[in-house]
Chains A and B, each alone.
Chain A
Amino acid sequence: MKKALITGITGQDGAYLARLLLAKGYEVHGMKRRSSLFNTQRLDDIYQGAHVKDKRFFLHYGDLTDSTNIIRLVQEIQPDEIYNLGAQSHVRVSFELPEYTADVDGLGTLRVLEAVRLLGLEKKTRVYQASTSELYGLVQEVPQKETTPFYPRSPYACAKLYGYWVTVNYREAYGIYACNGILFNHESPLRGETFVTRKITRALPRIVLGLDDCLYMGNLSVLRDWGHAQDYVEMMWLMLQQDKPEDYVIATGEQHSVREFIELAASTLGLTLAWEGEGVNEVGRVVVFDQRPLIDLIERQAAGEESATHKAFFNNILAKLNNNPALRPGSVIVRVDSRYFRPTEVETLLGDAAKAREKLGWQPQTPFVDLVREMVEEDFAGARRDSLCLQTGFAVHETKE
């Protein structure tokens, strides 16, 4: 049985990758940081307690800033594959935490590679390094591929640049099977709540149900190449199954603006938006609200719940929709707040994954519209639950971030 160690297992990619590797028969070890808050929600359904027979899923306390910890874990586990997904992964936040970001994302990668080298596992343990399209930053060519020069635009990207090159260097200098996956943006219902896509798909259902009244955004015009995280983790695994270690761009080859993402998310909920103004004064206004897509969605999500209580809630939601001023034509539900701007913005990213297609036989499976719909629908279910709880007098946890 192959053994894998995943750093950053509590994150979006870690959760999807852990599922994939478990399904492939791996013994999966995950490294999680100690926190006084629960941080394993994304792993709840694959978690195996201490007394499960034939346990194949293990969580270990660990931290990419602690060499001794990484060396000990790698020594104990003797993994065949390490996926280094752990990172301070938020670009905007890296401007606030530049040194920490360099330590975790840059030196953290080195510590993982050093552990492999130090323990003499160069021939046994393969390493996947989570590199990023943010390396291209101020893009030097369109679309971006493996040979496009980097131009990082944030402390996050500078730290990841170190991680990228130190991975290449350890491959070249010591013959470690180590690959960089240069992943373009990849999203899912498990995406962190503070990332722009998830922020949008969380906010719009809440606005529809009257839990919030407006979505405040940063730069609406930035263009991104968005894929589905579930598709992308498969490629991480594929990279480590080849004869030769190489670096690959993973992307859909399709580009959309943040504005388009919002429009599409809104339309999933029956909202048609129009944009007015420019820059910080730009607003998104409701043109028309059509209840039908939403009613379909509620019926689909509530299929099987035939109780009288449920009917009462259903009617109650309809009443909420009718009385919600935010849904009336002309109402402004999206505004721009300059505090979400980055000091140096990455305006456009578009990947060319031809190499991954040819050498790994990899194709993204999820079209953009399906990705957005899945995210909105999942978050709508959450918003509906919150609405229901509030209505019946239960407190809900509302993160104000």
Chain B
Amino acid sequence: MQDARITKHALIFGVSGQDGAYLARFLLDKGYRVFGASRDTQFASFANLRALGIQDAVQTLSANPADFRSVLVAITKAQPHEIYNLSGQSSVGLSFEQPVDTFSSIGTANLTLLEAIRFLGGKIRYYNAGSSECFGNTLEPATETTPFHPLSPYAVGKAAAFWQVANYREAYGLFACSGILFSHESPLRSERFVTQKIVRTACRIAAGARETLILGNMDIVRDWGWAPEYVEAMWAMLQSEIADDYIIATGRTCSLREFTATVFKCCGLNWEEHVQQNRAAMRPSDIAISSANPEKAARLLRWRAKHAAEDVARLLVEAEQSR
């Protein structure tokens, strides 16, 4: 363990995204000095950091995690004790259109960060953002030993990255962990994600807009959690005695239909009057059920989700209405 009197440094790749922003805030509160890497800081708006009021507290630097030199320069500047890799092309739908870039930004980037840590002596602790998408459909709640069956180029890339992390941990003794996070939402999500699309449309309708919400398959079942508390689990993984991989989820499932109904109810509306299902919005291959068993994290990290899907829906609506 580090001496408690020394200020810890953390370097976050993908700091401009939802998780990056919440993690940065969480680590700042813990007394960390936080460095945030983004591919081009000149062009990044860091709207999420601004939204959380921490843009000045986070020291941003330009780095492309798939470029070894750029990673080394960032690490040299930040001198991190911990690296969190939250970067990468994060849309499942887009991965069918940009499969090569999706792998480069997930697989090659992860490998480059692992190699850089190995190159620098292997002391820096590493967190990699895994994904529940790796499991594909879950016949029963997934655990850390459930075999993968990825259903998109995004998920295939995340599966390869998961095993790269495991291999570098086993081959070189790196302190490297994958967090297999199930869907986690917040007001910082863009409208490209279905939860935000539902919330924003419902709020607009409640405010008087005349529009119809068009959704794909509403039977899909997900484990939706609250992003601000998921980043705490990332940090907890890197504070453990032993590096390992963990599922992070609420352990409860909810269909898209139920989620939509809750959101509309929070807005004082009946969803059935405002929603249309459109099969054309579906992906080439989609996950029907994604459910998880987060007991390992509860047992070993003492982490448990406080908010499940209903709370998430309510919190999202509240945030949207107070925007």
Residues of A within 8 A of B (CB): 67, 95, 98-99, 102-103, 106-107, 110-111, 114, 149-155, 157-159, 161-162, 165-166, 168-169, 172-174, 342-344
List residues of chain B with CB within 8 A of the CB of A161: 159-160, 163
How distant is the Cα of A370 from the Cα of B313 in the complex, in angstroms?
67
Interface string of B141-156 (1 = CB under 8 A from A): 0000001111111011
How distant is the Cα of A102 from the Cα of B114 in the complex, in angstroms?
14
- Asked if B167 is an interface residue, CB under 8 A from chain A, the answer is yes
Inter-chain contact A159/B100, CB cutoff 8 Å: no
How distant is the Cα of A95 from the Cα of B156 in the complex, in angstroms?
21
21 pairs of residues in contact across A and B, judged by CB atoms under 8 Å: A98-B111, A98-B164, A99-B112, A99-B115, A106-B107, A110-B100, A149-B148, A150-B163, A153-B170, A154-B171, A158-B164, A162-B157, A162-B160, A165-B150, A165-B156, A166-B153, A169-B150, A173-B284, A173-B285, A343-B171, A344-B167
- Asked if B99 is an interface residue, CB under 8 A from chain A, the answer is yes
- Asked if B230 is an interface residue, CB under 8 A from chain A, the answer is no
Identify A114's interface contact among B100, B159, B171, CB under 8 A. B100
- Residue with the greatest number of chain A CB neighbours at <10 A, chosen from B104, B112, B285: B285
How distant is the Cα of A154 from the Cα of B166 in the complex, in angstroms?
10
Residues of B within 8 A of A (CB): 96, 99-100, 103-104, 107-108, 111-112, 115, 147-153, 155-157, 159-160, 163-164, 166-167, 170-172, 283-285
Q: A99-B112, A169-B152 are in contact. List 13 more A-B contacts (CB 8 A).
A: A98-B111, A102-B111, A102-B160, A111-B100, A150-B147, A151-B163, A152-B167, A159-B160, A165-B148, A165-B159, A166-B99, A172-B151, A343-B171
Query: With A161-B163, A173-B285 known to touch, is A110 a contact of B153 (CB < 8 Å)?
Result: yes
- Nearest-CB distance from A339 to chain B (Å)? 15
Identify A98's interface contact among B104, B115, B285, CB under 8 A. B115
How distant is the Cα of A92 from the Cα of B92 in the complex, in angstroms?
33
Inter-chain contact A155/B164, CB cutoff 8 Å: yes
How distant is the Cα of A185 from the Cα of B150 in the complex, in angstroms?
26
- Residue with the greatest number of chain B CB neighbours at <10 A, chosen from A102, A154, A343: A102
Chain B interface helix/strand/loop/mixed: helix
List residues of chain B with CB within 8 A of the CB of A154: 167, 171
List residues of chain B with CB within 8 A of the CB of A165: 148-150, 155-156, 159-160
- Nearest-CB distance from B110 to chain A (Å)? 10
- Nearest-CB distance from B70 to chain A (Å)? 14
Inter-chain contact A152/B163, CB cutoff 8 Å: yes
Q: Across the A-B interface, give the 3 residue pairs with the lowest CB-CB distance, nearest first.
A: A343-B171, A173-B284, A149-B147
Query: With A102-B111, A174-B284, A344-B167 known to touch, is A162 a contact of B152 (CB < 8 Å)?
Result: no
- Residue with the greatest number of chain B CB neighbours at <10 A, chosen from A99, A154, A158, A159: A158
- Nearest-CB distance from B35 to chain A (Å)? 24
Identify B151's interface contact among A67, A95, A158, A169, CB under 8 A. A169
How distant is the Cα of A111 from the Cα of B153 in the complex, in angstroms?
12
- Nearest-CB distance from A86 to chain B (Å)? 17
Identify A162's interface contact among B103, B167, B171, CB under 8 A. B103
List residues of chain A with CB within 8 A of the CB of B167: 152-155, 157-158, 344
Residue of A nearest to B114 (CB): A98
Residue of A nearest to B171 (CB): A343
List residues of chain A with CB within 8 A of the CB of B104: 107
Inter-chain contact B284/A106, CB cutoff 8 Å: no
How distant is the Cα of A102 from the Cα of B147 in the complex, in angstroms?
21
Inter-chain contact B99/A162, CB cutoff 8 Å: no
Query: With A110-B100, A158-B164 known to touch, is A103 a contact of B108 (CB < 8 Å)?
Result: yes
Inter-chain contact B164/A99, CB cutoff 8 Å: no
